[in-house]
A and B are shown apart, each in its own frame.
Chain A
Amino acid sequence: MSEFKVHHREGEGVNVIELKGYLDAHTATDLETAFQRLLNDRKYNIVVNCRDLTYISSAGLGVFMAYIEDVRKNRGDIKLTNMSTKVYNVFDLLGFPILYEIYKEEQEAVRKFNEHAGPSR
């Protein structure tokens, strides 16, 4: 069953993770694996493009929480982009916009990283 897909691409010193489908307690481990792989490779500038993410539950939100500390300790960040209103509302209910940078378009997030280009790539 292909209810959730994670696609990774790299460019301009930023790693982009594209999410597609349903991110819930069943599929959250796929996203964990993707984050863990980036951290293992010391890649800490991460943009998560949510354009094709149709659903998220707290299990999915928990994955972002699990990795944000490690990423920021290494002077990187996880920036979120292209959310539908439905998905944004769930992030908003849990106060994520205070703690995470959320942009309408992927390019805005990439630009932010490049404005503050540091040693972590």
Chain B
Amino acid sequence: MSSYTETISKSIRSSTDQLLDIREFVEQAAREFGFGDEESSNIVLAVDEACTNVIKHAYAGSPNGEIRVTILREGTRFQIQIQDHGRTFDPETLRPPDLKQQLTHYRRGGLGVYLMRRLMDRVEYAFRPGQPNEVRLTKFLARPAAGQRG
């Protein structure tokens, strides 16, 4: 099967007022790729959660940082790369050990990481010295992407 990679990207400031823009950007790309309503919504939510974590943790709420969102579309693979130049943080420390305990004891942190893992096929992190921090979210289409034939 021959395939090509199509890449689009968008940069936003590290501010929560940018989340709506990034959701619209991702939703349009997901729908163009062939995802339906539910899958598109799930992808959008996962990206929102990843960007929110970057704003709150990597940039500690400062609105002056940059977040670069790059979408790679290849074959049946739809991958979103979210890069930042903020503080490196270990997302695993945000992971809820027990969801029920989390919900009943007012511990809000970590829900986003949990959701990202539930909603996407793959969630990967890359923290390399001298390179931007990177979160990669991947979802696979159950059928060949629109406009791409074997």
Contacts and interface: CB of A to CB of B under 8 A. Distances in A.
Interface of A: 1, 3, 22, 24-26, 55, 57-59, 61-62, 65-66, 68-69, 86, 89-90, 93-96, 98-99
B51 to A, nearest CB: 9
Contacts of B41: 86, 89
A19 to B, nearest CB: 16
Contacts, number: 70
B2 interface: no
Contact of B106 (A3, A57, A61, A65): A65
Chain B contact patch, size range: 20 to 34
B16 interface: yes
Nearest to A100: B103
Interface of B: 16-17, 19-20, 23, 37-38, 41, 45, 48-49, 52, 55-56, 99-100, 103-108, 111-112, 114-115, 118-119
Contact of A57 (B17, B38, B49, B99): B49
Given A24-B19, A25-B52, A94 B112 contact: no
Main secondary structure of the interface of A (DSSP, over half): helix
B93 to A, nearest CB: 16
A109 B25 CA distance: 37
A78 to B, nearest CB: 13
A96 B103 contact: yes
B49 A66 contact: no
